[in-house]
Amino acid sequence: MPIAKRQMALTADLVAAAARVVEDLGPSPGAVYMTDEDYEIAIRDALAKGPKGDVWLFAYGSLLWKPACETAESWRATVYGWHRAFCIRVARFRGTPERNGLMMGLDRGGQCHGMIFRLPAAQIHESLDKLFRRELVVKTSPNMPRWLPARTVNGDVRVVAFVVNQQSPHYSGQLELEAVADVLSTAAGHWGSCAEYLQQTVAHLEELGIRDRNLWRLQAMVAERIIRERERLSGSDVGTGCTSQF
């Protein structure tokens, strides 16, 4: 039987309440960005290490709701030895230099339930180019492509996944959920807020019937913080004639 969807505490209204307009200030000072040649080398190396024939991509976060390329087929899948976690600090996209955001990565330990997508055979290079340009931005990248075995109802499949590079200066290490919730409830960049990123990911996991205990707790914690801040600002506006912009 299908799993009944649960009502999220982090609603679209709360995400909208936490939104703010952020200007893209461009590349961060000192950041070294990937070049066209770098992407060609990365794609060639990845294909050389992968299986012959079909190329499958493992999606566990934003790729579930904002795919970077076309896909031909999808299956539920689990990878072992890895788990999704907010462990990549960003000063751009969904954060700023003054208020860094956090993005999800596939970090060591545990297991991760997600989806695998088969890339169209005639578009493999084009698809990987789009994926790599989205996931690999700077050197040393906090993400790196790696072939992993994925367990499906149709048997094991080798898939390409973007896992966390723990040697990257953008890797945050393992953070307590309280600390993660503090960041996700306030950080935003020109791509949008971290609260939106979390809400969209959890909502799509629910649609797929995939339960992630930590993310479910996290969305409730972020919702609580947004409500508390909204109430604080509303209270401070009493008698001033001001309207909260939070």
Using a cut of 0.85, tell me whether the model's pTM lies above it.
Answer: yes
In the chain, the DSSP E strands lie at 32-33, 56-59, 73-90, 101-118, 138-139, 143-152, 155-164, 188-189, 192-193
Q: How does pLDDT run across 78-89, given as a tens digit for each residue?
A: 999 999 999 999
Q: Is 155 exposed, middle or buried (0-12, 13-18, 19+ CB in 10 A)?
A: exposed
Report whether pLDDT(119) > 70: yes
pLDDT at 3: 66
Beta bridge partners of 155: 152
Residue 3 is classified by DSSP as: P
Instruction: Evaluate the CA torsion angle 115, 118, 123, 124 in order and state its sign.
Output: positive
How many angstroms separate the CA atoms of 46 and 115, rounded? 20
- Domains for the chain: give ranges and CATH numbers: 12-233 (3.10.490.10)
Cβ within 8 Å of residue 114, ≥6 positions away: 58, 59, 60, 64, 76, 77, 78, 79, 84, 210
How many angstroms separate the CA atoms of 195 and 158, rounded? 32
Q: How does pLDDT run across 159-203, given as a tens digit for each residue?
A: 999 999 999 999 999 999 999 999 999 999 999 999 999 999 999
